[in-house]
Structure 1
Amino acid sequence: MKNLKIVLIAAIALISFNSCDEDDTNFEILPSESRAAIINLPTSGTSIVLDIANPTVTATTVVWEDAVYNVPTAIDYTLQFAAAGTDFETSFDVATTTTNYLVWTNEELNGIAVGTLSLTPFSPGDVDMRIKSSTGTNGSEAVFSEIVTISITPYTTEAPKIGVPGNHQGWDPPTAPSLFASAYGETDFEGYVWLDGDHKFIATNADGNFEWGNTDWGDASGADGTYTEALIADGEGNIGAPDGAGYYFIQADTEALTYSETIHNWGVIGSATGSWDNDTDMTYDSATSTWTLTMDLTAEEIKFRSNDGWDWNYGDDEGDGVLEFNSGTNIPVPSAGNYTIVLDLSTPRNYTYSLTLN
């Protein structure tokens, strides 16, 4: 009987040993807690100057180590930006992925910097970034990486503008025609505007809109209806149209505090009209803010000129429908016929035309 007990104990021990051995073979050690993603690139202090000349070239690549969860699962990553030092009180989700990297071109990151983060073009701005990771399952709690602070210097291709509210449009700034500067940061505004009496110049607000209460400029004389070609922002008078109602080319420099306004009446001239000596007058269409003319043309050449003279004329150097000032290149007429000719000077610094065969 004693021997039987010994045999049974030995058998149980052997079975238990084999069972443990099999469990050891299939045993998987799981992490005891979650760990957030770790950003490897870029590192804190990195300065990114976006290149306006190479919009499709890579500006930066964000790389991170995967987050770790206590169960095997697919992980969603969201890259968040916020103004530096704000502890993400207001955060922006700028990209989502299931990989552990993101690549941005100059153009893509610039769109985020200017459009989403409202950074000032051509000025470095500090930005906090972090990775939010989650499993996408119900009740899953997001975990966040450590914050990395970088500097981004964005750009813009948009020139600043000022408005021209006045008697010609009911003194309504939101609907005022615009003058554009030559480039961002410049104050040399220009454009064509139909004027009819007193007017002023007005700046945009932070949202890019013309509103009363914005900075505005008038004639430095302080008297309404005057035209001295000198501007002032305080104590100004309304500017008077120097030659009465008409279509004016306006230049205004809000730093130099100068302005000029020259009236223009447009015509078409050239071999296609039958003469390089006399032009055919166009008519201003206030509904479309364009100059129009319908006439017969031969398959030769034309140009647009102002005030029956050659001091102010437009041709087309590239043949693309965009006009160049005092160009040496005439505009070819493709075939003889009756044409509707449209001269569109309503978009500052982007003056165009069309020839439509009737």
Structure 2
Amino acid sequence: MKTTNIPGALMLAASLFWSCSDDDNGPVMIPADAPVITAPTSGSSYILTEDNAAGQADRFVWNKANFNVPTQVNYSLQADIPGNDFQSSASLGQTTATQLAVSTEHLNNTALRLGLPAEEASEMEVRVTASVNAHTEPLISETILVSVTPYGSDGGGGSYLWVPGGYQAAGNYGGDWSPAEAPQLRSLPDSDTEFEGYIYFGTASEYKFTAAPEWGNGEYGDGGSGTLLLNDGENLSAPAGYYLFHVDTENLTYSLLDTQWAVIGDAIPGTGWESDVDMTYDATQKTWSIALDLQPGEMKFRANDDWDLDYGDDEGDGTAEKGGTNIMIEAGGSYTVVLDLSTPGAYTYTITAE
């Protein structure tokens, strides 16, 4: 009579089951058919205007990628200059659908970020990548070549980064973590990859940098030790303060300088050029101000009781320039002095007699 060791058989079956489970994490995904961009067609041309910034520049459409198993596919629409092989590409958006609407403002900012000159027609390559997880090779479409004529922001060129975070509501910058309402950093006049701007953190907070006023279009996270990671990394963080931000998207570095602003000069009775008189920040107006008596003489704005960072006025037109000429006070009297650093790259001040 044949007997069967039931417990032993069960243990053997369990052993086989777990052995199989360790080696088999699900259906094998085999990248097969890459997405194909069907609209717009290669050779399309875009002349962008600031009047239509909020409108749609175009809707990009592509065929679904095939990984040989039913699964959610993540698509990334990327742009770069021809011949760069997408080594420093910019994101036009991410989606799980097979189409993506791109706004005029976003396409414009992407073109400027890639170094395309304002008010000139230049070529841009666009492609779609399809991915499912970190273990499966992505599928990449053939590129299309389009012509883009970007406009210069505020008529003066430049591109922007947005800084959404948990500080926004406390600093009068709209809702927390809202890129569309977040303050901006603007590219420097001599660089398309270096950005600067002042932002007030009314409370300690986390934040990120985004390449567009929306999520999913290129975000910079913490790479550690003052470095950034594109589309990766944890949230950045900072204590409460009024910061001068500097970001380099080419070298993926950033820095913050906490600033307290003051006035200094021989136009200020009793202090002269020896010591500062501190100004007060108004989060509602986003300005620094002080009411004080002045006498005929000169003055400047200075940060942190130090000459490493100061503003004067080279043309005498109310524009504050870094390291600029001393500001003249012609007549003595009571004045309200206001410094506005809220618009990146366009800093201003007023000196109003009471």
Deviation at 1:183, TM superposition (A): 4.7
Alpha-carbon separation, structure 1, partners of 2:217 and 2:148? 29
Alpha-carbon separation, structure 1, partners of 2:194 and 2:43? 37
Question: What is the TM-score normalised by the length of structure 1?
Answer: 0.55
Structure 1, residues 294-316: CA drift from partner, whole Å, max 9, x if none? 01111211111010111111111
- Higher Cα Rg: structure 1 or 2? 1
- Partner of residue 306, structure 1: 303
The 3-state SS of whatever aligns with 1:304 is strand
Structure 1, residues 4-57: CA drift from partner, whole Å, max 9, x if none? xxxxxxxxxxxxxxxxxxxxxxxxxxxxxxxxxxxxxxxxxxxxxxxxxxxxxx
Matching residue's letter, 2:352: T
- Partner of residue 350, structure 2: 354
Alpha-carbon separation, structure 2, partners of 1:253 and 1:282? 30
- Partner of residue 160, structure 1: 159
The 3-state SS of whatever aligns with 1:276 is coil
1:190 to 1:174, Cα distance in 2 relative to 1, 3 A: same
Query: What do you get for the CA RMSD once the two structures are aligned?
Result: 3.3
CA contact (8 A) 2:218 2:231 kept: no
Matching residue's letter, 2:181: T
Structure 1, residues 126-146: CA drift from partner, whole Å, max 9, x if none? 9xxxxxxxxxxxxxxxxxxxx
The 3-state SS of whatever aligns with 2:267 is helix
Aligned match for 1:255, one of 221, 237, 250: 250
- Partner of residue 143, structure 2: none
1:201 aligned onto 2:209: yes
1:338 aligned onto 2:334: yes
1:220 aligned onto 2:215: no
Matching residue's letter, 2:342: S
Alpha-carbon separation, structure 2, partners of 1:112 and 1:320? 26
- Partner of residue 235, structure 2: 238
CA contact (8 A) 1:272 1:301 kept: yes
1:189 aligned onto 2:195: yes
Alpha-carbon separation, structure 1, partners of 2:345 and 2:194? 11
Alpha-carbon separation, structure 1, partners of 2:184 and 2:148? 30
Aligned match for 2:290, one of 270, 287, 293: 293
Between the aligned residues of both structures, percent identity stands at: 42
Residue segments in structure 1 that go unaligned for 5+ positions in a row: 1-82, 93-108, 127-150, 205-209, 222-227
Structure 1, residues 136-170: CA drift from partner, whole Å, max 9, x if none? xxxxxxxxxxxxxxx99676333110111112112
- Partner of residue 211, structure 1: 214
1:180 aligned onto 2:186: yes
Matching residue's letter, 2:286: S
Deviation at 1:113, TM superposition (A): 12
The 3-state SS of whatever aligns with 1:237 is coil
CA contact (8 A) 1:194 1:248 kept: yes
The 3-state SS of whatever aligns with 2:164 is coil
1:340 to 1:257, Cα distance in 2 relative to 1, 3 A: same
- List structure 1 runs of 4+ shifted beyond 4 angstroms: 83-86, 109-121, 151-155
Alignment of 1:76-91 (within 5 A): none
Matching residue's letter, 1:321: G
Question: Size of the alignment, in residue pairs?
Answer: 219
Matching residue's letter, 1:199: Y
- Partner of residue 18, structure 2: none
CA contact (8 A) 1:160 1:185 kept: no
1:302 to 1:214, Cα distance in 2 relative to 1, 3 A: same
Deviation at 1:262, TM superposition (A): 0.6
CA contact (8 A) 2:220 2:232 kept: no
Residue segments in structure 2 that go unaligned for 5+ positions in a row: 1-40, 58-103, 124-146, 169-175
1:154 to 1:288, Cα distance in 2 relative to 1, 3 A: closer
Alpha-carbon separation, structure 2, partners of 1:162 and 1:263? 19
Structure 1, residues 80-121: CA drift from partner, whole Å, max 9, x if none? xxx9978xxx9x9xxxxxxxxxxxxxxxx9869998987865
1:112 to 1:262, Cα distance in 2 relative to 1, 3 A: closer
Matching residue's letter, 2:327: I
CA contact (8 A) 1:340 1:356 kept: yes
